[in-house]
């Protein structure tokens, strides 16, 4: 008997202990709160709303393509290109945000340097995607590697934020500071998980239990990033305060 959509969906979600719907719920909550306080803030706080909308649509597309098998993706490059696009948007969003928050010439110079390296790697990856000599497995690994270093760089900037927090005069009300909440909830995800994600393929083949647990935990901590963004919106203050 062919199972219905909801049973199939539950089965898919159960694989990773329902962490996928948890992340989706966190994203939707963040988006709703962002829309509620849309008029409260300057343009650079609102950009998180656009980013989250894009991420949700991207997640829905990925689910449709990979889980529901809608559309023939065997010889198409679109899913891979969308993954690359997602990586670019994630990098631009967080590095721009931290670029504005940290306001240090050294950090800004380092971000510009890292951006050059990042986009050079992205261009090479994109060329590789369209080059039939490179199998999908290799381009996926390179994508994971770029994503890993990108997140680690953002994690480093998050730690730098805390260093600066205790160096500067304590003039900010931290519990009402949007940037504090976004960075606090992101620091674990950006530092701990990037190297672990490189081992996903290894675990998928060698240790399925570990693979399920790590992917689920990965989604779990990703959900907290959106909880942090939600809390930031609830502060109802400009992002740089």
Partner 1 sequence: MQKTSDELILFVFVAIGIIAVMMAFILTILFLYRKRQQEFEKNLARLKLDNEKAVLSTRLEIQEQTFQHISREIHDNISLALTLAKLNLHTLDWDNREKSAVKVDSAVELLTQSITQLNDLSKSLDADIIGQQGLLAAIEEERQRIEKIGTFHICYSVSGNPVYMNSQAELVIFRIIQEAFNNIIKHARAGTVSLALHYNNRTLQLKIEDDGAGFDTETILTGQHAGLKNMEARTQLLGGQMEINSRPGRGTTLNFTIPFETP
Binding footprint of partner 1 on the chain (CB under 8 A): 17, 162, 165-166, 169-171, 174-175, 180, 184-185, 187-188, 209, 212-213, 216-217, 220-221, 224
User: Cβ 124 to partner 1, closest distance in Å?
Assistant: 34
φ, ψ for residue 103 (rounded to 5)? Answer: 55, 30
Residue closest to 129 by CA, chosen among 117, 141, 145: 141
Our CB check for partner 1 shows the closer of 83 and 184 to be 184
Our CB check for partner 1 shows the closer of 15 and 109 to be 15
Rounded Cα distance, 83 and 187, in Å: 22
User: Cβ 216 to partner 1, closest distance in Å?
Assistant: 6
Rounded Cα distance, 146 and 117, in Å: 10
DSSP letter for each residue of 31-73: HHHHHHTGGGS-HHHHHHHHHHHHHHHHHHHHIIIIIS--S--
User: Cβ 128 to partner 1, closest distance in Å?
Assistant: 34
User: Cβ 134 to partner 1, closest distance in Å?
Assistant: 35
User: Cβ 111 to partner 1, closest distance in Å?
Assistant: 23
Give burial (CB, 10 Å; 0-12/13-18/19+) of 155: buried
Q: How remote is the C-alpha of 84 from its chain's centroid?
A: 12
Our CB check for partner 1 shows the closer of 105 and 170 to be 170
Our CB check for partner 1 shows the closer of 58 and 220 to be 220
Our CB check for partner 1 shows the closer of 142 and 172 to be 172
- Is-contact 94 154, C-beta < 8 A? yes
Strands, E assignment, the chain: none
User: Cβ 136 to partner 1, closest distance in Å?
Assistant: 29
Our CB check for partner 1 shows the closer of 142 and 217 to be 217
- Is-contact 12 67, C-beta < 8 A? yes
């Amino acid at each position: 008997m062919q199972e219905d959509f909801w049973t199939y969906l539950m089965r898919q979600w159960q694989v990773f202990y329902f962490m996928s719907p948890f992340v989706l719920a966190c994203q939707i909550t963040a988006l709703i709160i962002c829309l509620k306080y849309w008029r409260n803030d300057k343009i650079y706080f609102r950009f998180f709303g656009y980013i989250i909308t894009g991420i949700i649509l991207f997640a829905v597309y990925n689910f449709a393509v990979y889980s529901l098998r809608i559309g023939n993706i065997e010889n198409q490059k679109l899913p891979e290109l969308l993954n690359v696009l997602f990586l670019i948007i994630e990098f631009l969003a967080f590095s721009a945000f931290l670029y504005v928050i940290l306001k240090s010439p050294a950090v800004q110079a380092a971000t510009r340097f890292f951006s050059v390296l990042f986009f050079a790697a992205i261009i090479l990856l994109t060329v590789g995607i369209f080059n039939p000599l490179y199998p999908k497995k290799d381009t996926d690994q390179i994508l994971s590697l770029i994503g890993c270093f990108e997140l680690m760089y953002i994690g480093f900037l998050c730690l730098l934020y805390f260093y600066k927090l205790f160096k500067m005069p304590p003039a900010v009300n931290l519990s009402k500071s949007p940037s504090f909440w976004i960075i606090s909830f992101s620091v674990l995800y950006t530092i701990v998980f990037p190297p672990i994600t490189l081992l996903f393929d290894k675990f998928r083949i060698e240790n399925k239990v570990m693979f399920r647990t790590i992917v689920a935990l990965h989604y779990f901590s990703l959900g907290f990033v959106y909880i942090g963004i939600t809390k930031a919106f609830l502060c109802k203050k400009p992002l740089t305060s």
